[in-house]
């Protein structure tokens, strides 16, 4: 049995590693299909080689489609929508594992694609998807990306190797690229949190795309502070930093759902820079980009609307991490599903169980 993982962007890979590992343990051969990615191409190849992953290369979606039609793998797992699946679905089963569980509308819209199955996180998302797409097949498995932290296989980084103080608590700041809180935070932000280690883990696009050069300049300034570690674009997995951190600060990133599913406190920055093309009479574009699930951020995390509130609430919740514990647990069950370290096993078992069934 052969399963392909379609990696349209480098940062998709950590989502699929636990599932690939579970499949390999069951005797299934897994191949990662990597798209050429300009500046990060060599880093991507090094990553898969260091992790001893089987891989193939394609230049674009058209080449990937031709590859799938030629190789005819048993399964193809996608991280995003994929067009022109009519021929592929004749010989391969196709499934979607969305590359994040955030509040963007695309979380639901990608299921308009002709992918046959979708692995879903929690009953809330399952119910909404069934309502929107009653003829499609969804399987509530939980969020496999978190398995390595939950089952203990994810090693924590050595704090001193990051140049940080082992005697301090650690805060993880993990903003998304747009709409982002980065530009709304002051250049002396790290100094305001000097009592803590501050790990900055930006979105992959923030570090690699020219249009986010202003964000990159902010990171360069922050990096001058001795309490800051800035993750590089090559460090694609946020899991080691999530395992290490005591508290998360984020904005419209799905990391808020992921981190609080580990029953750790988080602060939601409900203030971010909005492009002029998303303001005024065009603000409907922002509303369209962000789904109503954004409201759940206020359930799992503490909402702040400015830097002063951010600093006050950070200090409060890092010292009293149980303050929103009941809400975190309730919302995790609803939005992320089972957090038992076995989500990838459930996905692998489902894939294998279909072996004897007709396509």
Q: What is the CATH number of the domain that holds 131?
A: 3.40.50.11380
Which pair of structure tokens corresponds to residue 311?
Answer: 């600093």
Same domain, yes or no, for 198 and 248? yes
What integer is the mean pLDDT of 286-300?
60
Question: Mean pLDDT score of the chain, rounded to an integer?
Answer: 88
What integer is the mean pLDDT of 103-109?
65
Same domain, yes or no, for 79 and 160? no
CB-CB contact of 179 with 274 (8 Å) = yes
Same domain, yes or no, for 17 and 137? yes
**Which pLDDT does position 95 carry in this prediction?**
96
Same domain, yes or no, for 186 and 103? no
Q: Is the torsion defined by CA of 119, 125, 127, 133 positive or negative?
A: negative
Same domain, yes or no, for 184 and 90? no
Residue 285 has pLDDT above 50, yes or no: no
Same domain, yes or no, for 103 and 199? no
Residue 112 banded pLDDT, cuts 50, 70, 90: confident
Same domain, yes or no, for 199 and 298? yes
Count of domains in the chain?
A: 2
Residue 81 has pLDDT above 70, yes or no: yes
Compute the half-sphere exposure of residue 236: CA atoms within 13 Å on the CB side of its CA. 23
Q: Is the torsion defined by CA of 314, 319, 323, 325 positive or negative?
A: positive
**Which pLDDT does position 275 carry in this prediction?**
43
Residue 277 banded pLDDT, cuts 50, 70, 90: very low
User: Domain range spanning residue 244?
Assistant: 152-335
Same domain, yes or no, for 24 and 129? yes
Residue 290 has pLDDT above 60, yes or no: no
Same domain, yes or no, for 106 and 215? no
What integer is the mean pLDDT of 200-204?
92
Residue 43 banded pLDDT, cuts 50, 70, 90: confident
Residue 239 has pLDDT above 70, yes or no: yes
Residue 272 has pLDDT above 60, yes or no: yes
Task: Report the distance separating Cα 322 and Cα 160, nearest Å.
Answer: 27
**Which pLDDT does position 238 carry in this prediction?**
93
- pTM of the entire structure? 0.86
Residue 292 has pLDDT above 60, yes or no: no
Same domain, yes or no, for 157 and 101? no
Residue 280 banded pLDDT, cuts 50, 70, 90: very low
Model pLDDT for residues 6-21, shown as the tens digit of each residue: 999 888 898 999 999 9
CB-CB contact of 192 with 186 (8 Å) = yes
Which CATH number do you get for residue 196? 3.40.50.12580
Residue 102 has pLDDT above 70, yes or no: no
Model pLDDT for residues 301-345, shown as the tens digit of each residue: 999 999 999 999 999 999 999 999 999 998 888 888 899 999 999
Same domain, yes or no, for 50 and 141? yes
Q: Is 348 exposed, middle or buried (0-12, 13-18, 19+ CB in 10 A)?
A: buried
Task: Report the distance separating Cα 88 and Cα 184, nearest Å.
Answer: 45
Same domain, yes or no, for 188 and 323? yes
């Amino acid at each position: 049995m052969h399963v392909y993982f379609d990696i349209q962007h480098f940062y998709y890979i950590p989502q699929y590693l636990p599932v690939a590992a579970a499949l390999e343990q069951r005797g299934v051969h897994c191949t990662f299909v990597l798209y050429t990615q300009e500046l990060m191409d060599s880093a991507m190849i090094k990553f898969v080689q260091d992790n001893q992953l089987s891989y193939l290369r394609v230049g674009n979606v058209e080449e990937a489609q031709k590859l799938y039609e030629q190789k005819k793998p048993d399964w193809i797992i996608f991280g995003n929508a994929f067009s022109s699946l009519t021929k592929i679905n004749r010989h391969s089963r196709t499934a979607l594992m969305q590359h994040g569980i955030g509040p963007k509308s695309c979380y639901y819209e990608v299921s308009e694609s002709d992918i046959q199955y979708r692995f879903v996180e929690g009953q809330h998302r399952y119910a909404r998807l069934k309502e929107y797409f009653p003829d499609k097949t969804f399987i509530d498995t939980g969020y496999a990306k978190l398995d390595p932290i939950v089952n203990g296989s994810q090693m924590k980084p050595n704090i001193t190797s990051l140049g940080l103080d082992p005697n301090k608590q650690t805060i993880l700041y993990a903003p998304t690229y747009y709409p982002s809180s980065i530009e709304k935070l002051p250049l002396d932000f790290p100094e305001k949190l000097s009592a803590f280690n501050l790990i900055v883990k930006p979105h992959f696009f923030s570090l690699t795309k020219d249009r986010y050069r202003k964000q990159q300049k902010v990171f360069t300034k922050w990096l001058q502070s001795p309490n800051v570690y800035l993750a590089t674009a090559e460090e694609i997995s946020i899991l080691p930093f999530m395992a290490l951190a005591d508290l998360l600060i984020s904005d419209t990133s799905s990391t808020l759902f992921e981190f609080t599913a580990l029953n750790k406190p988080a602060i939601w920055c409900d203030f971010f820079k909005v492009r002029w093309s998303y303001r005024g009479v065009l603000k409907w574009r922002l509303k369209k980009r962000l789904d109503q699930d954004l409201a759940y951020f206020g359930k799992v995390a503490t909402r702040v609307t400015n830097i002063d509130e951010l600093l006050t609430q950070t200090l409060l919740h890092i010292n009293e991490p149980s303050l929103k514990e009941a809400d975190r647990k309730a919302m995790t069950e609803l939005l992320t599903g089972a957090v038992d370290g076995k989500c990838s096993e459930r996905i692998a078992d489902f894939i294998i169980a279909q072996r004897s069934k007709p396509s």
